[in-house]
Amino acid sequence: MERAVVQITLFGLLLALATTLPNKDDWDIYSFHINSTVTSRYATTVITSRVANRMDESKEIEFQVRIPKNAFISKFRMFIDGEVYDGVVKGKEKAQQQYTEAVSRGQSAGIVSSVGRTLEEFKTSVTIAAHQKATFELTYEELLKRRLGKYELQIHARPMQPVKDFKVDVYINEEAGINFIEVKGGLSTTVQANAITRTHVDKQAWVYFYPTEDQQKTCDSCGEQGLNGDLVIAYDVNRNPSLGDIKTSDGYFVHHFAPSSLPIIPKNVVFIIDQSGSMHGRKIQQTRIALIHILNDLAEDDNFGIITFDSSIFHWKRELVQANKENLESAKTFARNIQERGATNINAAVLRGASMLNAHSREGSASMLILLTDGDPTSGVTDFEDIQSNVRVAIGNKFPLYCLGFGFDVHFEFLEKMSLQNNGAARRIYEDSDADLQLQGFYEEVATPLLTDVTMIYNGGTHLTQTSFSQYYNGSEIVVAGQITDNDIETFTPQVVALSGNRRVKFSDTNGTVESPGTMSDSHIQRVWAYLTVKQLLDKELVLSGPEKKNAKKEALELSLKYSFVTPLTSMVVTKPQGENTDVLHKPKEGEEPESRPAAGFLPSIQTSSRLHSSRRMHYPVGLTPQFIIPASRVRPTYGPGAAGIPGHGHGTGRHGMIAAGHFRDHGSASTTVNHQFALILDDDFHIDLMDTEDEIPATIVTFSATDVPLTHRFLLTSENLTLPLCFDVTGDVSLKLLHHPNRELSVNGELDSVENGGFRRIAIHLKTDLYVEIDTNVIIVREGQTQKLLIGLDSITAGSLTVIRRDKEIDVATGDTRMVINIHEKGGKEFLWPVLRQQPLDNNVTGILALKPAVYEEVQQSPSTRLKSKDQEIDVTRASVVDYSIVYPLEHDCWLMSAESALQGRLDDFIVTHL
Ligand SMILES: *[C@@H]1O[C@H](CO)[C@@H](O)[C@H](O)[C@H]1NC(C)=O
Ligand SMILES: *[C@@H]1O[C@H](CO)[C@@H](O)[C@H](O)[C@H]1NC(C)=O
Ligand SMILES: *[C@@H]1O[C@H](CO)[C@@H](O)[C@H](O)[C@H]1NC(C)=O
């Protein structure tokens, strides 16, 4: 009932918005080509869109495309009525001044904005006369970065309508030889597979994607609006075992260095994990999961430490220890028990991590700090610059600091600056269902150090990009570009020196690796140099201060202008036929909110159930799927801040708590669906902000099918006189009171596992005041007064009157008149616990889920709905199925499903405990 109210209110909103969406029937994109050429990992992509206005009147026509965030736009032009209109790259401030008028009208600024994790959107429009045609042409350039052993070229195709002549052409030319190539991404699904042609001959590869109009409507996220998705071309090149690839042309060189046949160096790593209150819910769960996986991947000769922090610092161990089996098991238990609470003291945590590494011998190994945080410093030292300076002193250039910013409440620039100051890098972890995989993915990139203290030396080279690197990891690549003094190839001698463990190694064999100026006399290598130099100057500008900062900025600006790159320092002024607004195009910074956001690009919506996040805990009646009941007057749409990958969920919104986020599917047409992400933001006045985090959609019928709903656990209650047993559901990550036996001072609680696959993650037993046993699928911890024992593997332990026996697939717990068996079941490769009471205590004041006795019911009505009657009440039940985990080999049964309240004959809240 209440749910219906919400939907009606929001449908109203949706319909209101639907009428403002443009109708595109009257103009036609008759040709859309994407042409990407990759040479020595440098990709130049040209998007050409040809449109026709089929109307009898002039019409504003839009050109809207998405390009990778890492790329710089270098050219934009329009061909209209025989004229060419070239965009001009100018200094940002200059462009701004010149066009303040246009900018102040708000129609023109910020036409490039970030979308999602990896893309930026470019958008402009022009008025086309009746029955006229126009051509838009956008060029962008990027250096592909090698990650986990491959380069990936991402091409996003979203022409906004099916196109008769649609083509993607990719040509890759790598002198070293292409080792493998594969085509991935949403557009490479089976329907599209026969639209893709791939050819690979030694040094060259071609990928063509020519889908028909029908195929354009039938891929995963495509529909009546045509293609919408990515084509990702992944490849790697053959490796020269020694110095790598050096290409030269016109007095410039680029050097790709990525040796792989080297021994792995042991690493010393300290994980510094934010456990402040804002990590609550899914974030902390994903962090625990990721950390456990990462621990599993540590090599035996690695040393590691774990620190968790809120306003205080917690150690798993005070020193780094070896990653042997025993330490890892204990660390995993620690990881599983990380609980969120309190504020964020980043300063103290990083300093503590640095001093742990400083205290440990780093000879012959690669050391690193990995900080994971989801918020700004709020406790201890909170001034950004003070923290940065403290951290810099503590680390003293001895090892890199990697910062992972979880979600959009972090001041990313702060983390970025801090990591760049300490030879590391910052990465954003997007709050999403795959956040744990993002964390693991980052770790994998730095998991196998092969070299440390790498110095790239180029005699006869000048204007070099960065030449010293603190660590080199397998699967990555070091790229250096520069100029060759007087273009004198003869005296140009590259060399690399580094440490491989304790050994000094030198790479200097240039035998056949320096290619003379190729047949392609092009500015290509020079552009690689310019691209890399600008990127590095922009990083420097962030880290430096005073005159040095100014110089870096000036140099970056000059190069951006010279090579016509649209960078954060430059803007492109789009020239248009007379009488039209000028567009000024800026490149957004990571996490920056666009200066204006076109209204058509926004669609508010709401979900009925979803995963939960909160910096403020919201209480949902457990057992129900959470619903949000919001009076329409309180719904106020805003632009900008959002959950997954949209810019600007920034510092200004730090006080706001996100109460839900998720996806819904838009059944835009008969055959297709589009996924959308959205967030509900709850602010301090209890206003709800709704926002779409993706983009506009054709607002037709929306059915809500939220994904990532917290798992529901179904419990079984046997009842003697009914045809079927009873069952009821409990949803979410709660801890339940399993058994409470007041006379013996015994209580047993279980924590449900809502992320993985159901069942219980941990079960705790409290006996009298001083005995505490905690059980998970791997370890049993027994704490008696001050002493703590760990039980790993098949074994038994006795403490006081309690005996715990661990067998292969069950754990037997007995004390006095109570005996419980905890089954260990497995689903999807993950184990979970399921307790059963084997011997019912004699006292009748025993309570808890395991001690439940169902009311005596009789069936008073059969289909269509079934009604059960007991002494006190009549309730409706529905037929459902339940898996009986109380036995060794789980069995599925039919059951009568009733509410938890009815089954428990009381409030579910009375069965919930706040602490295990
Ligand atoms: C793609 O661009 C390259 C380089 O500009 C050019 O040589 C080639 O002909 C283009 N391919 C197509 C199909 O337009
Ligand atoms: C480095 O990674 C490659 C795959 O990218 C693998 O074949 C090689 O064995 C790895 N080398 C080391 C030392 O781990
Ligand atoms: C250099 O190349 C030549 C022929 O390609 C080969 O005979 C020679 O052994 C190589 N030298 C080194 C140091 O690898």
pLDDT tens digits for range 232-252: 999 999 987 788 889 898 899
Beta strands in 410-555, from DSSP E residues, in sequence order: 426-429, 449-459, 461-462, 468-473, 478-484, 493-500, 503-507, 514-515
pLDDT band, residue 364 (cuts 50/70/90): very high
Cross-sheet strand order for the sheet of 196-201: 83-86, 72-80, 133-143, 42-53, 27-39, 165-173, 204-209, 196-201
Q: Phi and psi for 581 in degrees, rounded to 5? A: -60, 145
User: Can you tell me the distance from the alpha carbon of 220 to that of 665, in angstroms, rounded to the nearest whole number?
Assistant: 12
Residue 137 predicted with pLDDT over 50: yes
Judge contact between 157 and 229, C-beta under 8 A: yes
Token pair in block for residue 320: 């780094």
- Could you give the CA distance from residue 646 to residue 33 in angstroms, rounded to a whole number? 27
- What residue owns the CA closest to ligand 3's atom 6? 511
Average pLDDT over residues 274-282: 90
Q: What is the pLDDT of residue 851?
A: 87
- Alpha-carbon torsion angle 854, 855, 859, 860, nearest 10: -150
In this structure, the strands spanning 688-692 and 866-869 are unpaired
How far is residue 438's CA from residue 118's CA, in Å, rounded to a whole number? 13
509 lines ligand 3 (CB under 6 A): yes
pLDDT digits (tens, 9 = 90+) for 624-681: 222 222 222 222 323 223 222 222 222 222 223 333 333 333 323 322 223 333 333 3
- Pairing mode, if any, of strands 151-157 and 165-173? unpaired
Domains 3-13+31-238+562-577 and 267-447 in one fold = no
Q: How does 31-45 read in b/e, with b if 16+ C-beta sit within 10 Å?
A: bbbbebebbbbbbbb
Nearest atom in ligand 1 to the alpha carbon of residue 35 is 1
Name residues whose C-beta falls within 8 Å of residue 37's C-beta, 6 or more positions apart in sequence.
43, 44, 45, 170, 171, 173
Structure tokens at 283: 């974030």
CATH class belonging to 267-447 = alpha beta
474 CA from centroid of ligand 2 (Å): 6
DSSP-based three-state secondary structure for 314: strand
Q: Is the pLDDT reported for residue 597 higher than 90?
A: no
SS3 785: coil
Residue-level pLDDT at 170: 97
Mean pLDDT of the chain: 79
Cα dihedral sign, 108-113-115-118 = positive
Confidence check: pLDDT of 686 > 50: no
- Whether residue 817 has pLDDT greater than 90: no
Index of the ligand 3 atom closest to the CA of residue 509 = 13
Which residue among 152, 179, 260, 445 has the greatest number of ligand 2 atoms within 8 angstroms of its CB, and so is best to mutate? 260
For 868-889, how does the pLDDT look when each residue is reduced to its tens digit (9 = 90+)? 888 777 888 888 888 888 888 8
Q: Residues 162-189: what's their mean pLDDT?
A: 92
Please name the residue that has the structure tokens 């990009």.
Answer: 465
Which has the minimum average pLDDT: 240-249, 536-545, 761-770? 240-249
Do 806 and 800 contact (CB within 8 A), yes or no? no
Q: In this predicted structure, what is the pLDDT of residue 312?
A: 92
Q: Do you know the residue count of the chain?
A: 916
User: Does the pLDDT at position 117 exceed 90?
Assistant: no
- Fold of the domain built from segment(s) 3-13+31-238+562-577: Immunoglobulin-like (2.60.40)
- Among 767-776, 837-846, 850-859, which range has the highest average pLDDT? 767-776
**DSSP 8-state code for residue 108:** S
Atom 11 of ligand 1, residue of closest alpha carbon:
35
Residue 555, SS3 per DSSP: helix
Largest CA distance in the chain: 100
Q: For residue 494, what pLDDT band results from cuts at 50, 70 and 90? A: very high
Q: Which residues line ligand 1 (CB under 6 A)?
A: 35, 37, 169
239/243 Cα distance (integer angstroms): 9
Confidence (pLDDT) at 754:
64
pLDDT at 678: 34
* Placement of tokens 């744990």 in the chain: 436
The mean pLDDT of 169-186, rounded to a whole number, is 93
Q: Point out the ligand 3 atom lying closest to the alpha carbon of residue 242.
A: 14
Domain locations in the chain as residue ranges: 3-13+31-238+562-577, 245-262+451-558, 267-447, 606-705, 713-753+812-913
Rg over alpha carbons for the chain, rounded to the nearest Å, is 31
pLDDT of residue 236: 96
- pTM (2 d.p.): 0.65
Predicted local distance difference test score (pLDDT) of residue 189? 76
What pLDDT, in 10s, does the model give residues 821-832?
999 988 877 788
- pLDDT exceeds 70 at position 157: yes
| Residue 300 CB less than 6 A away from ligand 3 | no
What percent of the chain has pLDDT above 70? 79
Predicted pLDDT at 591: 55
Considering only 45-49, 340-344, 868-872, which range has the smallest mean pLDDT?
Answer: 868-872
Is the per-residue pLDDT at 408 higher than 90? no
Q: What is the pLDDT of residues 390-407, one digit of tens each?
A: 999 999 999 999 999 998
Tokens of 795: 């074994």
What mean pLDDT is predicted for residues 466-487? 95
Summarize the chain as % helix, strand, coil (round to 5).
20, 40, 40
Measure the CA–CA gap between 117 and 132, rounded to whole angstroms: 37
Nearest CA to ligand 1 atom 8: 35
